């Protein structure tokens, strides 16, 4: 790890501690559901574990920490008190927005920025030769795209299965209104599909399976949400199919390509034969 990477690590640890203190303080001092509390604590634990592993396991643990930080930012950024004032009559907009908890949101955002800079420093210092073998610029480009399209699932599964009963009920009602029954089970299935796709794509873990799940989910979201009859352009009233299918195609690329060199799949396969190092030590 470079001196810049070490500095970013300790800044990240400090910001993660700040995020955890603010997040837990909010849970302790405000009226929140057990559902939301369990979700927040679970992702805080995941964040802490990823940062501990990042000292020795490098890139993939940093990506995992970034993933957890963004989930926390999303959960607290869209938090809406149960029975709080409603600023919209659109139930889906109500489920996806909220006054949020600014302190936690900004701490998690700052942490995410530091983690992105840490990943950038890793790329700078390992551009051609990583601990897992030589890579090309094209490989790094695909790594970036794979992570970007994977992390886009965060904004969706956070509300579907982690935000709490009020948001879940809204999505359950919506799924039922478009004929998906049993609606509650379909919300859970959709949320799990998004979690699997997001984590699998970002870490390159069972990448082809994760990409297939993600691309299929996106296609059927456009189909069952009746976006195709609306038209192509996404900003048409109620949304055309432009964005969803574009995203699905980008995800589907990895059904064909897999995770590549920069993936846990590569390490998992090669590690069975003792052919690849599993970590990059801090010093």
DSSP string, 46-83: HHHHHHHHHHHHHHHHHHHHHHHHHHHHHHHHT---TT
* pLDDT (0 to 100) of residue 49: 96
Classify residue 130: in a domain, yes or no. no
Residue 271 — pLDDT band, cuts 50, 70, 90? low
Whether 283 is covered by a domain: the verdict is yes
| CB neighbour list of residue 44: distance below 8 Å, 6 or more residues apart | 19, 20, 23, 24, 68, 72
Q: Does a structural domain hold residue 131?
A: no
Q: How many domains does the chain have?
A: 2
Q: What is the pLDDT of residue 84?
A: 55
Domain boundary among 94, 125, 156: 125
- The percentage of residues in the chain with a pLDDT greater than 70, rounded to a whole number, is 92
Q: Which of 71-75, 114-118, 173-177, 243-247 has the lowest mean pLDDT?
A: 173-177
**Where does the pLDDT of residue 264 fall: very low under 50, low under 70, confident under 90, or very high at 90 and above?**
very high
Q: Which residue has the higher pLDDT, 268 or 275?
A: 268
**Among 125, 156, 175, residue at a domain's last position:** 125
pLDDT given at position 269: 82
pLDDT, residue 281, reads 38
Shared domain check, 37 and 173? no
Measured on CA atoms in the order 29, 34, 40, 44, is the torsion positive or negative? positive
Q: Round to whole Å and give the CA distance between 150 and 30.
A: 32
Region at 82 (left for phi over 0; alpha for psi -120 to 50; beta for the rest): beta
Look up the domain containing 22 and give its range: 1-125
Arithmetic mean of pLDDT over the chain: 89
Please check whether residue 278 is in contact with residue 57, taking contact to mean a CB–CB distance below 8 angstroms: yes
Find the largest Cα–Cα distance for the chain. 59
Note the pTM of the prediction, 2 decimals.
Answer: 0.91
Q: For residue range 225-238, what is the model confidence (pLDDT) as tens digits?
A: 899 999 999 999 88
160 lies in the same domain as 237: yes
What pLDDT score was predicted for residue 127? 85
Tens of pLDDT, residue by residue over 57-111, are: 689 999 999 999 999 999 999 887 765 556 566 777 777 887 889 999 999 999 9
Distance of CA 110 to the CA centre of its chain: 16
- Looking at the domain assignment, is residue 266 inside a domain? yes
pLDDT, tens digit, 9 for 90 and up, residues 200-209 = 999 999 999 9
- pLDDT digits 0-9 by tens, 168-186: 988 898 888 888 889 999 9
Asked if 73 and 194 sit in the same domain, the reply is no
Distance CA 193, CA 186 (A): 10
Q: Is residue 255 part of a domain?
A: yes
Do 147 and 120 share a structural domain? no
| Residues 124, 106: Cα–Cα separation, whole Å | 27
pLDDT more than 90, % of the chain? 66
Average pLDDT on 29-56 reads 93
Do residue 81 and residue 191 come from a single domain?
Answer: no
> Where is the domain boundary, 83, 98, 125?
125
Helices (H), the chain: 3-29, 34-77, 91-96, 102-125, 137-151, 154-157, 165-177, 183-203, 207-224, 242-257, 264-271
pLDDT band at 135 (very low <50, low <70, confident <90, very high): confident
């Amino acid at each position: 790890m470079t001196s810049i990477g070490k500095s970013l690590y300790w800044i990240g640890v400090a910001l993660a501690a700040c995020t955890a203190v603010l997040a837990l303080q909010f849970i302790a001092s405000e009226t929140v559901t057990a559902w939301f509390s369990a979700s927040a604590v679970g992702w805080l634990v995941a964040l802490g574990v990823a940062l501990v592993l990042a000292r020795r396991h490098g890139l993939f643990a940093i990506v995992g920490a970034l993933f957890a930080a963004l989930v926390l930012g999303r959960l607290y950024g869209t938090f809406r008190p149960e029975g709080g004032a409603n600023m919209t009559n659109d139930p889906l907009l109500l489920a996806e927005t909220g006054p949020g908890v600014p302190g936690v949101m900004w701490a998690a955002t700052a942490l995410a920025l530091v983690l992105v800079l840490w990943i950038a420093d890793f790329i700078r210092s390992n551009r051609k030769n990583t601990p897992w073998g030589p890579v090309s610029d094209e490989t790094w480009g695909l790594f970036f795209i794979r992570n970007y399209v994977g992390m886009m699932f965060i904004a969706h599964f956070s509300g579907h299965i982690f935000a709490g009963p009020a948001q879940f009920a809204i999505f359950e009602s919506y799924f039922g209104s478009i004929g998906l029954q049993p609606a509650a089970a379909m919300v859970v299935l959709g949320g799990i599909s998004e979690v699997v796709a997001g984590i699998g794509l970002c870490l390159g873990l069972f990448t082809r399976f994760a990409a297939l799940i993600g691309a299929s989910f996106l296609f059927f979201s456009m189909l069952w949400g009746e976006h195709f009859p609306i038209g192509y352009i996404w900003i048409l009233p109620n949304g055309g199919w432009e964005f969803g299918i574009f995203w699905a195609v980008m995800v589907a690329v990895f059904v064909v390509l897999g995770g590549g060199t920069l993936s846990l799949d590569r390490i998992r396969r090669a590690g069975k034969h003792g052919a690849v190092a599993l970590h990059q030590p801090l010093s």
